[in-house]
C-alpha cells in the first residue's frame, strides 16, 4: 500500500503554504520599512533592536520552511512536518520578542528557557541554511560549532577555551553579540530595503531600460552584443548584488545576442559571468557585503562606495577592452536586431535617474544612514513608476503589493546566512579562536604581508566556492581580516581584498556558480566556461594586491596621486588585456604578447615600493605605446596593400 501524496489546503485558489509564506515574507518587508521609518515612535512605543531582529529571523525561517523542501527544491506543497517546523520556529522567536527584556535580564543565570530558545534558533537556522544554500556553508558553520565544544583539546596556538554545550547553545542562539549581532542587523535593517527598492525599480521598467540603454549605446559597435552584456550586467548588478540572479536575468537576453553575433558558447558564457559577478563591486548600491563592511569597519557607507569606484572601473574597463578585441579578432558582427537610438531610450526612461539622485543626495549631502536613503529612493521609485511608465511596465496596485512578499522571499536566504555568520562570530568570541587564528596566521607568514595575502586569497576562494559572496565575506572578515590588518594593511584595503576574492569564487572552478549558470544558458562546458571567465576576469585577481600596496586606488591619498595611479594602472591593465586576447590591429606574435605583459607588469609593479617608480612606469608606458603604434601602422599598411592588390 503506497502512502497518499498530501494535497495542499486551498484558499481562494492558492495553496495554504503559498498564502502563509507570502504573508510571513511580506510582513518581514513591512516590519523593515516600519522599523526604518520609526513607526513605533509615532505611537509612543519603543522596542529593542534584538526584538526587531528576532521578528525578522522568525518570519524568514517560517517563509523558508514553507517554500523549500528537505532536498532544497522549491515547492508550494510542503509536507505536514514543514508546517510544524515553520510554526515552532516562528512561535519560539515571537515568544522571544515578547519576553526579550526579561530574558536579557536573566541571561547571566542561564535559565532553561534560554537553552530551548537557543537550541531552536541554532537547529532551525542550520537546517534552513542547508536547505537554501546546500552543504558547503552548513558544513563550515558545523565545523566551527564542533570546534567550540572540542577546541580545548586542540594543541598549539589554535587551542580554545572549554565551552559547555548548554552555554554554547544559549550564547550563539540568543546573545546580542552572536546571532542578534552585526551581520543580522545589517541584513534585516539595510539589505531588505535595498532589495525592495531594486524590485520596485524593475517593476517600473528599470531592468528593461538598462538593457535598452546598453543596446542603444553599444549595439552598433563591433562586439556590440558582448558590450551590451558588460554594461547591462554592471547596471543591473549594482542593484541586485547577486551574480547568479544577474546571469539569469540579463543572460537570457545577452547570451543569445552574443551567440548570433559570432561569440563562441564558452566566450559568451564567460563574458556574461564576469559581467554579472562584477555587479557586486559597482557603486552606488553594490551587494550586501558592502553594508556589512561599513558596519565591521565602523565607517560611513559612502566611504566604502568611494573606495570601490576605481577597482570597479578597472574591472569593467578590462572586460570591455577584451570583448572589443575578441570581436575584432574573430570578426564578430554587430547586433542583428533593431537598435533604438540612445536619445530615444533616454527620453523614455530618464525618470529612472531620479531614484539614483535621491539615493546619492541622501547619502552624500544629507549624511543619512543607508537604510533611510534606500527608503527615500524606494518612495521616489513608486512616484516615478506611477506617473511615468517605461514601455508597458507600470507600477500598479497589485504589482506594488506583490513587491513586499517578493522582497521577503528573496532575502530569507540571506537572513539565515547572516544569522549563521553570527554563530561564527559568537564562537570566535567565546572560544578565543579569533585571537588565536590571527596569531597563527601571522606566525606562519613570518609577519610577511604578501604571504598572508596569498594565504588569504586562497582561503577566500576555497571557502567561497558554492557560497554567496556576503556569507564568505562575513566569515573571512572575522577570520582573516584581523591578520591582514595586523600585518600592516589599511583596514578598508584588507576588507576590500577579502570581498574581491570572495567574489571571485563565483567564476573560479571547480565550483563557479556564476560561470556554471551562464554555461547552462549557452549549453557550453561548465568547466571550460569557468576557466574562460578566469582568463577574462584576470584583473580581479591582481587589483586587490595592488590596492593593498597602493591605497590611492581606494581613493585614499592626495588627489593628484590618486589620478596618476589610476591612469597608469589603467594603461597597465590595457597592455596585459591586449596580451591575453592576443590581438591589437592584427594577431600578435609571442614576442609581442610577452612584450605587452612585461610593459604592463612593470607599470603595475611601479605602484609598489620599488626604486624610481615614476621613471619605470613612464618608460614602460612609452615602450608600450610605441608597440601599439607600430602594430597599428603595420596593420594599416597591410590593409592598403590588400586593397591595392584586389583593385583591377
Q: What pLDDT, in 10s, does the model give residues 280-304?
A: 788 776 766 778 888 888 888 888 8
Average pLDDT of the segment spanning 23-51: 93
CA distance 213 to 469: 28
CA distance 186 to 196: 15
Query: SS3 for 162?
Result: coil
Instruction: Read off the pLDDT band of 53 (50, 70, 90).
Output: very high
DSSP 31-76: HHHHHHTTHHHHTT----HHHHHHHHHHHHHHHHHHHB-TTS-B-S
Task: Tell me the C-alpha to C-alpha distance, in Å, between residue 489 and each of 154, 589, 604.
Answer: 29, 39, 18
Average pLDDT of the segment spanning 577-582: 94
Q: What is the pLDDT of residue 239?
A: 63
Q: What is the pLDDT of residue 436?
A: 81
Average pLDDT of the segment spanning 300-311: 89
Angle at 457 between CA 456 and CA 460, to 5 degrees: 80
**Locate cell 515612535: which residue?**
41
Q: What is the pLDDT of residue 7?
A: 43
CA distance 530 to 506: 9
Q: Please count the residues of the chain.
A: 648
Query: In the predicted model, is pLDDT for residue 631 greater than 50?
Result: yes
CA distance 507 to 536: 10
Instruction: Read off the pLDDT band of 604 (50, 70, 90).
Output: very high
Judged by phi (left if over 0) then psi (alpha if -120 to 50, else beta), residue 555 lies in left
Q: What pLDDT, in 10s, does the model give residues 113-148?
A: 999 999 999 999 999 999 988 887 888 889 999 999
Nearest residue to 377 (alpha-carbon basis) of 637, 580, 368: 368
Chain mean position to CA 478: 18
Q: What is the pLDDT of residue 55?
A: 97
DSSP state for residue 8 in the 8-state scheme: P
Q: What is the pLDDT of residue 243?
A: 76
- Whether 119 and 174 have beta carbons less than 8 Å apart is answered as no
* Higher pLDDT among residues 350 and 338, named by residue: 350
Residue 255 cell numbers, joined: 547570451
DSSP state for residue 511 in the 8-state scheme: S
* Higher pLDDT among residues 403 and 288, named by residue: 403
User: Exposed/middle/buried for 155, CB within 10 Å: 0-12, 13-18, 19+?
Assistant: exposed
Average pLDDT of the segment spanning 31-42: 93
Query: SS3 for 393?
Result: strand
Quickly count helices (H) and strands (E) in the chain.
Answer: 31, 2
CA distance 249 to 514: 12
Instruction: Read off the pLDDT band of 471 (50, 70, 90).
Output: confident
Q: Please, where are the H alpha helices in 280-333?
A: 288-297, 301-330
CA dihedral of residues 197, 201, 203, 204 (deg, nearest 10): 140
The overall average pLDDT reported for the chain is 86
Average pLDDT of the segment spanning 219-239: 77
Residue 260 cell numbers, joined: 548570433
Q: What pLDDT, in 10s, does the model give residues 54-69?
A: 999 999 999 999 999 9
- Whether 106 and 114 have beta carbons less than 8 Å apart is answered as yes
Query: In the predicted model, is pLDDT for residue 387 greater than 70?
Result: yes
Average pLDDT of the segment spanning 467-496: 83
CA distance 248 to 334: 23
Q: List Cβ neighbours of 221 (8 Å cut-off, separation of 6 or more).
A: 227, 324, 334
User: Exposed/middle/buried for 64, CB within 10 Å: 0-12, 13-18, 19+?
Assistant: buried
Query: In the predicted model, is pLDDT for residue 554 greater than 80?
Result: yes
CA distance 175 to 450: 37
Exposure class string for 607-641: b at 16+ Cβ within 10 A, else e: beeeeebeeebeebbeebeebbeebeeeeeeeeee
Query: In the predicted model, is pLDDT for residue 173 greater than 90?
Result: yes
- Whether 306 and 285 have beta carbons less than 8 Å apart is answered as no
CA distance 404 to 316: 33
Q: What is the pLDDT of residue 35?
A: 95
Average pLDDT of the segment spanning 474-481: 82
Instruction: Read off the pLDDT band of 2 (50, 70, 90).
Output: very low
Q: What pLDDT, in 10s, does the model give residues 3-25?
A: 334 444 444 567 888 999 999 99
End-to-end CA distance of the chain: 87
DSSP 412-428: HHHHHHHHHHHHHHHHH
Q: What is the pLDDT of residue 285?
A: 66
Residue 548 cell numbers, joined: 593593498
CA dihedral of residues 224, 229, 230, 234 (deg, nearest 10): 140
By mean pLDDT, which of 48-52, 177-181, 637-641 is the weakest?
Answer: 637-641
Q: What is the pLDDT of residue 165?
A: 93
Q: What is the pLDDT of residue 5?
A: 40
Average pLDDT of the segment spanning 311-326: 92
11 φ, ψ (degrees, to nearest 5): -140, 110
CA distance 144 to 429: 12
DSSP element (H, E) containing 202: helix 192-203
Q: What is the pLDDT of residue 11?
A: 44
Instruction: Read off the pLDDT band of 644 (50, 70, 90).
Output: low
- Whether 490 and 556 have beta carbons less than 8 Å apart is answered as yes
Long-range contacts of 645-648 (CB under 8 A, 24+ apart): none
Nearest residue to 604 (alpha-carbon basis) of 624, 628, 631: 624
By mean pLDDT, which of 335-339, 540-544, 576-580, 613-617 is the weakest?
Answer: 335-339
Residue 92 cell numbers, joined: 519560539
Residue 15's DSSP bridge partners are 10
Q: What is the pLDDT of residue 325?
A: 92
Chain mean position to CA 119: 30
Query: SS3 for 11?
Result: strand
Long-range contacts of 602-606 (CB under 8 A, 24+ apart): 602/572, 603/568, 603/569, 603/571, 603/572, 603/575, 604/542, 604/546, 604/569, 604/572, 604/573, 604/576, 606/568
Query: In the predicted model, is pLDDT for residue 405 greater than 50?
Result: yes
Q: What is the pLDDT of residue 342?
A: 85
Query: In the predicted model, is pLDDT for residue 460 greater than 50?
Result: yes
Q: What is the pLDDT of residue 232?
A: 78
Q: What's the alpha-carbon Rg for the chain, to the nearest Å?
A: 26
- % the chain with pLDDT above 70: 93
Average pLDDT of the segment spanning 247-261: 79
- Whether 220 and 327 have beta carbons less than 8 Å apart is answered as no
* Higher pLDDT among residues 253 and 530, named by residue: 530
Amino acid at each position: 500500500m503506497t502512502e497518499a501524496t498530501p494535497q495542499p489546503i486551498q484558499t481562494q485558489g492558492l495553496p495554504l503554504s503559498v498564502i502563509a509564506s507570502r504573508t510571513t515574507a511580506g510582513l518581514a518587508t513591512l516590519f523593515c520599512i516600519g522599523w526604518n521609518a520609526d513607526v513605533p515612535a509615532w505611537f509612543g512605543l519603543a522596542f529593542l533592536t534584538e526584538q526587531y531582529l528576532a521578528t525578522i529571523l522568525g518570519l524568514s525561517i517560517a517563509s523558508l520552511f514553507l517554500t523549500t523542501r528537505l532536498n532544497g527544491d522549491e515547492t508550494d506543497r510542503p509536507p505536514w512536518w514543514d508546517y510544524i517546523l515553520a510554526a515552532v520556529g516562528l512561535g519560539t522567536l515571537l515568544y522571544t520578542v515578547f519576553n526579550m527584556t526579561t530574558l536579557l535580564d536573566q541571561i547571566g543565570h542561564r535559565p532553561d528557557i534560554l537553552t530551548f530558545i537557543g537550541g531552536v534558533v541554532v537547529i532551525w537556522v542550520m537546517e534552513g541554511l542547508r536547505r537554501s544554500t546546500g552543504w558547503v556553508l552548513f558544513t563550515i558553520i558545523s565545523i566551527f560549532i564542533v570546534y567550540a565544544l572540542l577546541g580545548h583539546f586542540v594543541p598549539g596556538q589554535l587551542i580554545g577555551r572549554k565551552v559547555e554545550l548548554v552555554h554554547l547553545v544559549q550564547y550563539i542562539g540568543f546573545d546580542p553579540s552572536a546571532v542578534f549581532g552585526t551581520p543580522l542587523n545589517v541584513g534585516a535593517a539595510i539589505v531588505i530595503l535595498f532589495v525592495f527598492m531594486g524590485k520596485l525599480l524593475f517593476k517600473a521598467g528599470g531592468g528593461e531600460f538598462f538593457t535598452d540603454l546598453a543596446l542603444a549605446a553599444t549595439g552598433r559597435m563591433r562586439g556590440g552584443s558582448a558590450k551590451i552584456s558588460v554594461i547591462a550586467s554592471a547596471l543591473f548588478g549594482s542593484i541586485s548584488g547577486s551574480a547568479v540572479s544577474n546571469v539569469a536575468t540579463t543572460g537570457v537576453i545577452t547570451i543569445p545576442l552574443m551567440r548570433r553575433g559570432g561569440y563562441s558558447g564558452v566566450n559568451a558564457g564567460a563574458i556574461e559571468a564576469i559581467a554579472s559577478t562584477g555587479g557586486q563591486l559597482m557603486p552606488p548600491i553594490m551587494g550586501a557585503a558592502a553594508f556589512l563592511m561599513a558596519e565591521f569597519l565602523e565607517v560611513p557607507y559612502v566611504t566604502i562606495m568611494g573606495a570601490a569606484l576605481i577597482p570597479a572601473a578597472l574591472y569593467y574597463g578590462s572586460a570591455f577592452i577584451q570583448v572589443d578585441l575578441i570581436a575584432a579578432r574573430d570578426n564578430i558582427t554587430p547586433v542583428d536586431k533593431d537598435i533604438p537610438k540612445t536619445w530615444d531610450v533616454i527620453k523614455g526612461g530618464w525618470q529612472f535617474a531620479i531614484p539614483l539622485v535621491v539615493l546619492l543626495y541622501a547619502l552624500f549631502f544629507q549624511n543619512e544612514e543607508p537604510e533611510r536613503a534606500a527608503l527615500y529612493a524606494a518612495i521616489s521609485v513608486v512616484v516615478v513608476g506611477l506617473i511615468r511608465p517605461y514601455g508597458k511596465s507600470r507600477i500598479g496596485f497589485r504589482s506594488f503589493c506583490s513587491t513586499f512578499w517578493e522582497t521577503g522571499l528573496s532575502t530569507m536566504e540571506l537572513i539565515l546566512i547572516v544569522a549563521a555568520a553570527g554563530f561564527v562570530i559568537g564562537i570566535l568570541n567565546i572560544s578565543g579562536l579569533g585571537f588565536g587564528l590571527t596569531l597563527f596566521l601571522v606566525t606562519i607568514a613570518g609577519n610577511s604581508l604578501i604571504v598572508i595575502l596569498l594565504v588569504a586569497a586562497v582561503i577566500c576562494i576555497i571557502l567561497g566556492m558554492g557560497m554567496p559572496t556576503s556569507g564568505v565575506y562575513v566569515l573571512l572578515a572575522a577570520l582573516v581580516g584581523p591578520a591582514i590588518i595586523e600585518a600592516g594593511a589599511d583596514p578598508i584595503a584588507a576588507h576590500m581584498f577579502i570581498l574581491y576574492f570572495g567574489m571571485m569564487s563565483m567564476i573560479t572552478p571547480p565550483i563557479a556558480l556564476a560561470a556554471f549558470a551562464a554555461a547552462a544558458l549557452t549549453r557550453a562546458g561548465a568547466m571550460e566556461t569557468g576557466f574562460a571567465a578566469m582568463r577574462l576576469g584576470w584583473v580581479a585577481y591582481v587589483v586587490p594586491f595592488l590596492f593593498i600596496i597602493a591605497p590611492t586606488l581606494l581613493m585614499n591619498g592626495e588627489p593628484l596621486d590618486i589620478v596618476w595611479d589610476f591612469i597608469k594602472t589603467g594603461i597597465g591593465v590595457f597592455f596585459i588585456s591586449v596580451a591575453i586576447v592576443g590581438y591589437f590591429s592584427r594577431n600578435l606574435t609571442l614576442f609581442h604578447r610577452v612584450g605587452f605583459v612585461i610593459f604592463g607588469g612593470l607599470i603595475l609593479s611601479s605602484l609598489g615600493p620599488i626604486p624610481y617608480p615614476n621613471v619605470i612606469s613612464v618608460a614602460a608606458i612609452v615602450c608600450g605605446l610605441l608597440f601599439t603604434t607600430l602594430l597599428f601602422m603595420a596593420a594599416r599598411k597591410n590593409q592598403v596593400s590588400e586593397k591595392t592588390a584586389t583593385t583591377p
